[in-house]
Structure 1
Amino acid sequence: MAAGAAVPVSRRLLLDTAPLRNPAYRRLWIGHGVSFIGFQVTAVAVPVQVYEMTGSSFWVGVLGMVNLVPLVVFGLWGGAVADHMDRRRLLLASSVLTWVATLGLFAQALLGLELLWLIMLVVALQATGFAISSPTRGAIIPRLFPLDEVAAANTLSYTFSQAATLGGPLLAGLVLARWDYSWAYGLDMVLFTVMLWAAFRLPPIPPLAGEEVQGSPGLRSVLEGLRFLWTQPVLLMSFVVDIIAMGVAMPRALFPELADTRFGGDEAVGWLFAAIGIGAVLGGLFSGWIGRVRRQGLALVVSIVVWGLAVAAAGLQHSLWAAIALLAVGGAADLVSAVFRQTILQTYAPDELRGRIQGVFTVVVAGGPRLGDLRAGVMAVAFGAGVSWVFGGLACAVLVALVGLASPALMRYRPNVSDSGPEGRSPEQVT
């Protein structure tokens, strides 16, 4: 009896792998996770190459804008297109665009061209492909599962992505230490072919019968999605708390200064940057309970408050390992909040608008941390890095708690779960 009783306990505590029984999701999970490792290798190699070419951090900073502009523009447009056509075809096309852009990076490095404008152009193309594929992939997930399994699927995806975020830069360091940039970009190309395979093997995912979207996926279609979002307090407030979480509390812009002045130098900065990801991966491995949470709005608010408090507490520490431990707690809370934000979006928005709302989500996820870097840097100049760090965490916790108290619809939100698949479909139809 004891051995039998241990199984339910482990299933309650450990990462729920049940969604991997779905063949379509399993291929998508493998494809995205493996390709994201390569994406992270390139994300390290490009700024290192640009800095080596120019000797200027300014041009490395320009890379951020080159990435952000396509993410904003094509994230919104790509979400609109995903509501108008077969999502499998769109995911495959955008993935091919990303792969071709990576081929361009590989070619310029192999040929030794060292043309800054060419690198910037190819990076913009790569960001465009990612901006279209990200909301498309997010809109596909709820078409593969009953609503009560969407949270578990998102948890699996986020955990693999966080593991890639940790492993990719480490792999990039090993590659760049031994070989040139073409090896890094070539590795990304090879790994990204797994995503091409996964997208190709998906079943057709056209608009649901009776829910075809009228018109073309232009500006009007994007505005329709934004108008819908504005009228839905649950969705709108889930975006607001997400912006607060990243735009107010994210402390990573302060890591280099405090690593140098408080924690002992260059070795510490790597640990600080890794700490949030380490916590997110560990949180994902022990996330079996997430799929059973019904008060998802309340859980979202609580997890972001914990994130803010953990960040603030980490900023008060003078021991590197204490700061890392608290940032890891924050990273685990951030993973939980990310899963619930995504799950609320996917289960609340109707399928014919899901791509467009997912596009807004992509923009928020891309822009929030960059706003956080700006906020942290400006406050550090005015008040000091330590004050900026602690204030950001505390302000996040207070603001999100106030938003929660002012948003009873979000705090009361529970997904409308039935025994059938989403929108009344059997999930087997899209596996």
Structure 2
Amino acid sequence: MTDLAQRKASRLLPLTALLAAHGLSLLGNAVTMIVVPLYVLELTGSVVATGVAGVFATVPMIVGGALGGVLVDRIGFRRAAIAADVASGVTVAAIPLFAATVGLPFWALLALVFLSGLLDTPGNTAKSSLVPDLAEAAGVALTRASGAAGAVSRSATMLGASLAAVAVVLLGPLDALLLDAATFALSALLLALFVPSGATGHTEQRGEGFWHEFVSGVRHLARTPVTRNLVLLIVVTNCLDAAGMLVIHPVYARAVSPDGEFLGVMIAFFAAGALTGSAVFAWFGHRLPRRATLVVCFVLAGPPPYLAMALDLPLSAVLVVFALSGLAAGSINPLVYTVLYEQVPRAMRARVFGALTTGATAAMPLGSLLAGLAVDGVGFLASVLLIAAVYLGATLAPLLGRSWSGLERPKHPISA
């Protein structure tokens, strides 16, 4: 290897390690997202209980997003990411360990799920906040770094879903969670070894309280039209996605497969399509008009899977729809994060991303709970059709109003 190639590889190593660490922790989370709803259904036999578990999985994202972003800004991106992964690994490992020893009643499971979610959000915020700096140090364009991060995220979801489907059958739902704990440990190790300690990201302390710093992040989002609009759109779509992921999809999977393992297959097909979409965006995203791309991708990613389930299509056709919807969805997160990296100053990046996470997840517990109640009250078919209709209406919003024009590339991106 030439000196030039060695220097290039050395520059890329921290960014590569960050993406690998993020992928490992997300892989474990994908296992948890599949295993926990199936375990709750097995334990209680109640769709409402599954919705309640979804609430306990998503509410901590709001708390962690609100205060976690401020904490990440205070202690630094790298240190926060490592600490969050270690703590999350311990919390997740406690679920099967308690179940195998002293027992795991439903309330204890909810408590552990809550704690795990509370720790995940600051860790993910810290990793996301590191991307622009490490991309710049590696000489990688921001659009490509965002696309690569999206591809890693989708890959982790795809592999995690496939792994969960196998693990549930071979090991059982609780033992599968040990895989989650192992991925958190590996993620923390990669960050500690290969991401330089200089990638802290912390700012000088000014004696401001947590609430004041959080509010400053909210104000930045509110005063920037494009970020404000994105938050509102993501609040609605995340609510609908939570209803699908935590309630609708598990119920459908249990109806069409004996052990519910089809849930993992559905998510894996969606993730495979999304991985392809993220990779395509990484290479060609800079050439696409952002507003039109966002609308088309949201419309194709949201309603079609629900319509496929409502129409009772053959399972092979359902998987094709999920894959194509995933292909469209793959460009959404890289596009959104590219806009945010351009709009948010580095000095307040984590707290703004934390505020964004809070807004984006605020409606998710409600979506999960209402989906459980709706399936029990009006039936599966009516619930699925309603979700598809609301999804379509929400994702057409970027076609209205001049404030969405801020999606396009700014002449002078904010970096300070």
Query: What TM-score bracket applies, with the shorter chain setting the length?
Result: 0.7 to 0.9
2:232 equivalent in structure 1: 240
- Of 391, 396, 410, the residue aligned with 2:391 is 396
- CA distance in structure 2 between the partners assigned to 1:381 and 1:123 by the alignment: 24
- Of 198, 205, 211, the residue aligned with 2:199 is 205
Structure 1 residue 24 corresponds to structure 2 residue 14: yes
1:346 equivalent in structure 2: 341
Structure 1 residue 405 corresponds to structure 2 residue 397: no
- CA distance in structure 2 between the partners assigned to 1:95 and 1:267 by the alignment: 28
SS at structure 2 position matched to 1:280: helix
1:177–1:264 distance in 2 versus 1, CA, 3 Å: closer
1:374–1:234 distance in 2 versus 1, CA, 3 Å: same
- CA distance in structure 2 between the partners assigned to 1:257 and 1:185 by the alignment: 21
1:277 equivalent in structure 2: 271
- Of 169, 176, 190, the residue aligned with 1:184 is 176
Preserved CA contact (<8 Å) 1:159 1:281? yes
Structure 1 residue 331 corresponds to structure 2 residue 321: no
Shift of 1:32: 1.8
2:151 equivalent in structure 1: 159
- Equivalent residue letter for 2:76: D
Structure 1: unaligned runs, 5 residues or longer:
1-17, 425-431
What is the TM-score normalised by the length of structure 2? 0.80
- CA distance in structure 2 between the partners assigned to 1:107 and 1:298 by the alignment: 49
SS at structure 2 position matched to 1:199: helix
2:357 equivalent in structure 1: 362
SS at structure 2 position matched to 1:145: helix
Structure 2: unaligned runs, 5 residues or longer:
1-7
1:427 equivalent in structure 2: none
For residues 5-404 of structure 1, the aligned pairs below 5 Å read: 22-50=12-40, 53-54=43-44, 56-146=46-136, 149-179=141-171, 183-201=175-193, 202-203=195-196, 204-207=198-201, 212=204, 214-216=206-208, 218-247=210-239, 251=244, 253-255=247-249, 272-293=266-287, 295-308=289-302, 310-311=304-305, 314=308, 317-320=311-314, 321-367=316-362, 370-373=365-368, 385-386=380-381, 388-390=383-385, 392-404=387-399
2:5 equivalent in structure 1: none
1:217-275 residue CA offsets vs partner (Å, 9 max, x unmatched):
511211111122111101111112223334357755444666799x8997866655544
Shift of 1:65: 2.4
Preserved CA contact (<8 Å) 2:51 2:372? no
1:21–1:310 distance in 2 versus 1, CA, 3 Å: farther
- RMSD over aligned CA atoms reads 3.7
More deviation, 245-254/347-356: 245-254
- CA distance in structure 2 between the partners assigned to 1:114 and 1:36 by the alignment: 25
More deviation, 297-306/308-317: 308-317
Preserved CA contact (<8 Å) 1:303 1:333? yes
Shift of 1:58: 4.7
What is the TM-score normalised by the length of structure 1? 0.78
- CA distance in structure 2 between the partners assigned to 1:328 and 1:180 by the alignment: 27
Preserved CA contact (<8 Å) 1:151 1:290? no
1:126-145 residue CA offsets vs partner (Å, 9 max, x unmatched):
21210211111111111212
- Equivalent residue letter for 2:120: F
Preserved CA contact (<8 Å) 1:298 1:412? no
More deviation, 216-225/292-301: 292-301
Preserved CA contact (<8 Å) 2:269 2:319? yes
- CA distance in structure 1 between the partners assigned to 2:206 and 2:322 by the alignment: 46
- CA distance in structure 2 between the partners assigned to 1:19 and 1:413 by the alignment: 32
1:309-334 residue CA offsets vs partner (Å, 9 max, x unmatched):
64576467553344433332222222
